[in-house]
Structure 1
Amino acid sequence: MERVRIGIVGIGNMGSSHARYIAAGEVAGAELAAVCDISADRLRWAKEQFGEKLQTFETVDAMLESGAVDAILICNLHFDHPGTAMKAFARGIHVLCEKPAGVYTKQVREMNEAAASSGVRFAMMFNQRTSPLYIKLKDLIDSGELGEIRRTNWIITTWYRPQSYYDSGQWRATWAGEGGGVLLNQCPHQLDLWQWTVGMLPSRVRAFCSFGKYRDIEVEDEVTAYVEYPNGATGVFVTTTGETPGTNRLEVTGDRGKVVIEDNKLTFWRLRVPEPEFNRTFQGTFGQPECWKIDIPVGPEPKGHRSITQNWVDSIRLGTPLVAPGEEGIRGLSLSNAMYLSAWTDDWAELPVDEDKFYELLRQRIETSRYRK
């Protein structure tokens, strides 16, 4: 395929952002062929911005049946991501999906099964997987340089949102409109990176979520979660949209040292002797292994979303391996689903999450939501 004709589903904030760089020719081998949106105003805006050759559609089905696109970039409401993707898979159309993969894992599992049988290229817009900081962290863990993981802590509170943000759309921060709050809207990248770099999911989660603590919203705006991993390691994840200034600090400790990512820097405190070996051989009263503080050099930041879009297009045209395969979107979502389930039941949530129980409790909240489509 010489050029991939891309259609964008949903031309709101994120859809517009993607449309601009694709239309500007910043993704080699791709062209912006069409957009789809339920808003006539947005479709008129797209025509004005990108020219009369751009095809516009009011429904996903009309776009997919038109023959105008080879691939779609999904930027509509969270609940609609899996259904939109599955319609594309059924027609042999490639898919790049904005985060999150969906709202509940049962729905996303069905999407993954449909993708696997379709033979198309399916990717998630996990652009932070291209960050040199997290690539290096994953390398230090995968290579064994950090040793066996013992503890992970992530404080990510740089999501401050005023009430006016939530008031800008009736669907925002509602169970029926978005399906969740800070975990589902702001944190999918961090939840994905957390499991992707560490290389494993927890075995169980105990989470405490505050719903509408700082703002007049239905969903969670503060979360503290404690997790336990199969190897005995533990972890903590803290996030909120209600405090400023915020912190973004990821700390991963292994038996060979500790890595901290903060302020766009990666620092490795490397033990010269692994802690288990030191503990086994040391005979003094007080002591600890010699430790070297190393500022790990990393490369320049890539072009964010464009990097993932380029990788997806290259995968379609050239067979390039995907940086963020779509099927992996369920992994970070399983973490947020487990946190919700733990908070709703005031108990531990095991992973894999009880999908039927989670959906039933979510459905109850959707039925009483202030938002109606």
Structure 2
Amino acid sequence: MDKVRIGIVGIGNMGKGHTNYLSKNEVKGGELTAIVDTDPARLDWVRENYGDRFQLFDSLEAFFASKAFDAVLICTPHYDHPTVAIAAFKHGYHVLVEKPAGVYTKQVREMNEAAAKSGKAFGIMYNQRTNPLYQKLRELITSGELGEIRRTNWIITNWYRSQSYYDSGGWRATWAGEGGGVLINQDPHQLDLWQWTIDMMPKRVRAFCHFGKYRNIEVEDDVTAYVEYENGATGLFVTTTGEAPGTNRFEITGDRGKIVIEDGKLTFWRLTVPEPQFNAEYKGGFGQPECWKCEIPVPKSEGSHKEITQNFVDHILKGTKLLAPGEEGIKGLTLSNAMHLSAWTDNWVDLPINEELYYSHLQDRIANSKFNKVTRSLENMDVSGTH
């Protein structure tokens, strides 16, 4: 096998983006050969822009039966990610799925189980894992350079969205259409990076979600969450789509200093002596460890979808380790589900979460959603990604 033939499921915003770079042969060893969408207008768009370069399908059944590809890139609405992935695995295809992995962990766990049984490659489009800022942060933490983690704090409020944005599609910001708000739509990358860079998940979560606080929507648009880790560390995650100007600042404190990512820069305030050692040895009363401010040089890059696709293709062809294994999509989703559940029950939520309880609460909200769940399909939704 000297190349991987790729079929795209869903040709909305993200599907078009992936089509663009794949059609230019910018992924070595990868070739786009097929596209499926149930909206005729979107298939017409493909024909107008790419002629007859790809096989086009208007049903998943015909698409999967064609064997015109080796791997699928899933760019459907959030709820459909696990459903399409499971079907693809059953048909013997490798799978690369857009974020989020799904809407609730119960369905994502089923997807992960199907992937394990299939023996096929499984990746998720966590392109921010290719961002040198977060790769360097993970390196500094996992190598022990920062010491034991004591606190994490991410303020990510630069997701401003106007009411007209939400009004542009009846499915937007609804429980039946998207399955959540800022946590499920805008924040999947940050929730993934929050746990990936420090290489640990919280043990429990207490969150306060405001639903329709700034906009006329039914899902959350303002969230403050507090978490506790097994080692005693604590964390805070603050996000909203209703503030301008917003902030994007990720701060991690360890017993050897602190690291801050903000404005595209990584700064390490490094203690010359670990804090526990200084505390044990220092007898002068007022005082603190000597600290060096280190600006860590990092290449300029915002993280590329193309890099994740290249890594996925290399994994299939060469056995290269996946940077974003699909199975890990459940971790960030667990955090958002836990925040929702904490707000809904007005209580702490222990991890792993009670998946049945979350599902029950979600179904109640879907039943009362202004967006008719029955009409949710590829025809009337702008396929997934960051909308």
Q: Taking structure 1 as the reference length, what is the TM-score of the superposition?
A: 0.99
Aligned position for 1:235 = 235
Aligned position for 1:23 = 23
Secondary structure of the 1:81 match is helix
Secondary structure of the 1:133 match is helix
Alpha-carbon distance between aligned partners in 1 of 2:317 and 2:48, rounded to the nearest angstrom: 30
Alpha-carbon distance between aligned partners in 2 of 1:290 and 1:199, rounded to the nearest angstrom: 27
Whether 2:88 is the aligned partner of 1:88: answer yes
Structure of higher RCO (CA pairs closer than 8 Å, 6+ residues apart): 2
Aligned position for 1:346 = 346
Secondary structure of the 1:270 match is strand
Alpha-carbon distance between aligned partners in 2 of 1:104 and 1:61, rounded to the nearest angstrom: 25
Shift of 1:303: 5.9
1:29 alignment partner AA? G
Do the aligned partners of 1:147 and 1:255 also contact (CA within 8 Å) in 2? yes
Do the aligned partners of 2:128 and 2:303 also contact (CA within 8 Å) in 1? no
Aligned position for 1:319 = 319
1:263 and 1:130, CA in 2 relative to 1: closer, same or farther beyond 3 A? same
1:51-93 deviations in whole A, cap 9, x for unaligned? Answer: 2131111222221111111111111010000010011111110
Q: How does 1:184-195 map to 2 (within 5 A)?
A: 184-195=184-195
Alpha-carbon distance between aligned partners in 1 of 2:107 and 2:240, rounded to the nearest angstrom: 26
Do the aligned partners of 2:129 and 2:303 also contact (CA within 8 Å) in 1? no
Shift of 1:130: 0.7
Whether 2:336 is the aligned partner of 1:336: answer yes
Do the aligned partners of 2:105 and 2:333 also contact (CA within 8 Å) in 1? yes
Aligned position for 1:222 = 222
1:141-179 deviations in whole A, cap 9, x for unaligned? Answer: 111110000000000011111111111111111000100
2:137 alignment partner AA? L
Aligned position for 2:142 = 142
1:298-330 deviations in whole A, cap 9, x for unaligned? Answer: 123276000001111111111111100000000
Secondary structure of the 1:78 match is coil
Alpha-carbon distance between aligned partners in 2 of 1:371 and 1:221, rounded to the nearest angstrom: 18
1:268-314 deviations in whole A, cap 9, x for unaligned? Answer: 00000100011111111200000000001112327600000111111
Aligned position for 2:131 = 131
Shift of 1:2: 1.9
Do the aligned partners of 2:128 and 2:302 also contact (CA within 8 Å) in 1? no
Do the aligned partners of 2:131 and 2:303 also contact (CA within 8 Å) in 1? no
Alpha-carbon distance between aligned partners in 1 of 2:340 and 2:61, rounded to the nearest angstrom: 33
Do the aligned partners of 2:129 and 2:324 also contact (CA within 8 Å) in 1? yes
Do the aligned partners of 1:63 and 1:69 also contact (CA within 8 Å) in 2? no
Secondary structure of the 2:47 match is helix
Percent identity over the alignment is 67
Alpha-carbon distance between aligned partners in 1 of 2:252 and 2:370, rounded to the nearest angstrom: 40
Secondary structure of the 1:6 match is strand
Do the aligned partners of 1:83 and 1:111 also contact (CA within 8 Å) in 2? yes
Structure 1, 350-359 or 157-166: larger mean CA deviation: 157-166
Shift of 1:244: 1.0
Do the aligned partners of 2:175 and 2:219 also contact (CA within 8 Å) in 1? yes
Aligned position for 2:116 = 116
Aligned position for 2:65 = 65
Unpaired stretches in structure 1, ≥5 consecutive residues: none
Aligned position for 1:45 = 45
1:169-228 deviations in whole A, cap 9, x for unaligned? Answer: 111110001000000000000000000011111000000001011111110001000000
Do the aligned partners of 2:4 and 2:71 also contact (CA within 8 Å) in 1? yes
Alpha-carbon distance between aligned partners in 2 of 1:7 and 1:302, rounded to the nearest angstrom: 26
**Count of residue pairs the alignment pairs up:** 373
RMSD of Structure 2 on Structure 1 (CA): 0.9
Q: Taking structure 2 as the reference length, what is the TM-score of the superposition?
A: 0.95
Structure 1, 354-363 or 301-310: larger mean CA deviation: 301-310
Aligned position for 1:297 = 297
